[in-house]
């Protein structure tokens, strides 16, 4: 039996799936946590990712051993990692500073400064979008490089390598400093249109540095990065690009991922340019493009309110479904700042509280707020991408009956809950298989039967929910 492994290295944990190449059947899995982070400062030691990988991979192989007697290895492996993080290494390949993660917002001032270097205002934003597919916000790696250069000059002077989280794990597997086009497109200094690093952007941060020796080589979609314990290692990619592979995303459909954070994305044949910055014009892992809208707040908001109510997820769902929507408050879910819209210093807001407020109404307000935020993201995506088919729902909140029904009531196209339990790890395994066999990802997806899902038959009547949410959102935007 030929085996491939997919790795999901997220903000919260590392997950590993080992699959049978012929059928896609999962024959082993493992997970291990990462250190907890809370924005605005969101940093981790990259070594913790490798430790988590070793633990999760070991658990997966232990399960494999029961069905593959005498063999404790896989034939190919790829890594899907959290996007945008900054891993700055010295000449001994040690971090000069803890890795800045995508949801760290300390570099918000640098985002504004970078836009100003391209002229500022709408013209500067348009110039950034045309050059990079992105308009700088605190999430993107380019702002974090500027932050490190500005605030820690002694650490900056020791920088020899700049990697993304998935690049770091691929380096630990193979000893090579490489990346892929999908993850590179989220840095803000690589162009999805030209497929090259942007010297003029990098010079804004440090014009005296030889960037050619600092940045990883960008591999092609089917190009091997090297080997690990005899296994072929794929180029890896960003978590959203891997998830697109894992759910079998096709042109016309869109994914809405409701995990710790939220995303809405689709596959396109051409690059996306959005001068507003709401839609990030990423590349995907196959040679196409992946326009994406990201919100910082999704399941974490539900978790926070459930904690305040002292209930588990099942009881939280029951409470939310039992609420009278006509008397439910409106919650703006910007608990840890927000990326779309770009309000890194924002906090959550709630309106419409009365003395008859109940636990049920608070639970429903949290679900309504998160659902409205993700529908706003979907609307922004639709303005720039050919979304005319299904919405594929993934992430932890896809398991919530209350969230599914509220979200379905707000969306006017069919929605399915993806069959992929671990979309990122599955997508990384798809890439590993495609590299091993030198075939396109669609061949593997079809063989493994990816792309299925369970339809959501009935949504809840939204009433005037979106209008009331928009009033609170606009009030916050004007504050």
DSSP state of 335: B
What was the pLDDT predicted at 342?
A: 86
Percent of the chain with pLDDT over 90: 90
In the predicted model, is pLDDT for residue 282 greater than 70? Answer: yes
In the predicted model, is pLDDT for residue 69 greater than 70? Answer: no
Which residues pair with residue 43 across a beta bridge? 100
Q: Which two tokens stand for residue 250?
A: 């096709």
In the predicted model, is pLDDT for residue 68 greater than 70? Answer: no
pLDDT in tens, 370-414: 999 999 999 999 999 988 899 999 988 999 999 999 999 999 889
Give the separation between CA 123 and CA 87, rounded to whole angstroms.
31
| pLDDT mean across residues, the chain | 94
pLDDT in tens, 417-437: 999 989 999 999 999 999 999
What was the pLDDT predicted at 217?
A: 98
Could you confirm whether 104 is annotated as catalytic? no
In the predicted model, is pLDDT for residue 341 greater than 90? Answer: no
Out of 167, 180, 183, 239, the active site residue is 239
In the predicted model, is pLDDT for residue 365 greater than 80? Answer: yes
Q: How many CA atoms lie within 13 A of 135 on its CB side?
A: 26
In the predicted model, is pLDDT for residue 232 greater than 90? Answer: yes
Query: What structural domains does the chain harbor?
Result: 3-239 (3.30.420.40), 248-419+449-479 (3.30.420.40)
In the predicted model, is pLDDT for residue 294 greater than 70? Answer: yes
Non-local (6+) Cβ contacts of 136 within 8 A are 110, 111, 112, 114, 115, 128, 142, 143, 188, 277
What was the pLDDT predicted at 72?
A: 45
Q: What is the dihedral of CA 279, 280, 283, 289, to 10 degrees?
A: 10
Non-local (6+) Cβ contacts of 168 within 8 A are 46, 49, 50, 81, 87, 99
pLDDT band for 70, please (50, 70, 90 cuts).
very low
Using alpha carbons only, give the angle 257, 47, 245 rounded to the nearest 5 degrees: 30
What was the pLDDT predicted at 67?
A: 55
Percent of the chain with pLDDT over 70: 98
Give the separation between CA 390 and CA 185, rounded to whole angstroms.
26
Give the separation between CA 385 and CA 366, rounded to whole angstroms.
29
Q: Kindly write down the DSSP assignment for every residue of 145-178, as one continuous string.
A: HHHHHHH-HHHHTT--EEE-HHHHHHHHHHS--E
Which residues pair with residue 391 across a beta bridge? 254, 415
Phi and psi for 405 in degrees, rounded to 5?
A: -75, -40
Give me the mean pLDDT over the 157-167 stretch.
98
Non-local (6+) Cβ contacts of 174 within 8 A are 225, 226, 227, 228, 233
- Look at the block and give the residue holding tokens 């960008």: 218
Range name among 60-64, 159-163, 284-288, 429-433 with the lowest pLDDT average: 60-64
pLDDT band for 71, please (50, 70, 90 cuts).
very low
pLDDT band for 260, please (50, 70, 90 cuts).
confident
pLDDT in tens, 80-107: 999 999 999 999 999 999 999 999 999 9
What was the pLDDT predicted at 479?
A: 58
Give me the mean pLDDT over the 448-459 stretch.
91
């Amino acid at each position: 039996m030929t085996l491939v492994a997919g790795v999901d290295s997220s903000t919260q944990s590392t997950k590993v799936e080992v699959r049978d190449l012929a059928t896609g059947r999962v024959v082993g899995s493992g997970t291990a946590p990462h250190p907890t982070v809370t924005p605005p400062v969101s940093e981790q030691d990259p070594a913790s990712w490798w430790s988590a990988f070793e633990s999760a991979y070991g658990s997966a192989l232990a399960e494999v051993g029961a069905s593959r007697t005498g063999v404790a290895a896989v034939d190919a492996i790829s890594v899907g990692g959290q996007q945008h993080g900054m891993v700055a290494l010295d000449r001994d390949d040690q971090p000069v500073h803890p890795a800045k993660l995508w949801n760290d917002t300390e570099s918000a001032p640098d985002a504004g400064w970078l836009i100003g270097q391209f002229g500022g205002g709408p013209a500067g934003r348009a110039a950034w979008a045309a050059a990079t597919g992105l308009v700088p916000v605190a999430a993107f790696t380019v702002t974090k490089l500027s932050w490190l250069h500005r605030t820690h000059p002694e650490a900056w002077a020791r920088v020899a390598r700049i990697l993304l989280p998935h690049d770091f794990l691929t380096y630990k597997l193979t000893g090579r400093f490489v990346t892929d086009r999908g993850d590179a497109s989220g840095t803000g200094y690589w162009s999805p249109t030209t497929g090259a690093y942007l010297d003029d952007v990098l010079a804004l941060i440090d014009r005296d540095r030889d960037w050619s020796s600092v940045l990883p080589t960008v591999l092609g979609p089917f190009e091997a990065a090297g080997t690990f314990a005899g296994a072929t290692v794929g180029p890896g990619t960003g978590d959203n690009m891997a998830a697109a592979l894992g759910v079998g995303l096709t042109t016309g459909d869109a994914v809405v991922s409701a995990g710790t954070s939220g995303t809405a994305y689709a596959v396109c044949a051409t690059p996306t340019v959005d001068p507003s910055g709401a839609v990030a014009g990423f590349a995907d892992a196959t040679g196409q493009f992946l326009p994406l809208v990201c919100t910082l707040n999704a399941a974490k908001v539900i978790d926070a309110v459930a904690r305040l109510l002292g209930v588990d997820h099942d009881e939280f769902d029951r409470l939310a479904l039992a609420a009278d929507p006509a008397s439910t408050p409106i919650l703006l879910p910007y608990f840890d700042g927000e990326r779309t819209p770009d309000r890194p210093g924002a906090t959550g807001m709630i309106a419409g509280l009365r003395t008859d407020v109940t636990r049920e109404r608070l639970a429903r307000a949290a679900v309504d707020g998160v659902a409205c935020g993700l529908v706003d993201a979907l609307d922004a995506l639709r303005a720039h991408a050919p979304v005319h088919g299904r919405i594929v729902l993934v992430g932890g909140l896809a398991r919530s009956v209350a969230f599914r029904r509220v979200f379905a009531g707000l969306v006017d196209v069919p929605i399915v809950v993806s069959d992929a339990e671990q979309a990122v790890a599955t997508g990384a395994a798809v890439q590993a298989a495609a590299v091993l066999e030198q075939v396109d990802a669609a061949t593997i997806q079809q063989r493994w039967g990816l792309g299925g899902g369970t339809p959501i038959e009935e949504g809840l009547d939204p009433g005037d929910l979106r209008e009331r949410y928009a009033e609170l959102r606009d009030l916050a935007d004007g504050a």
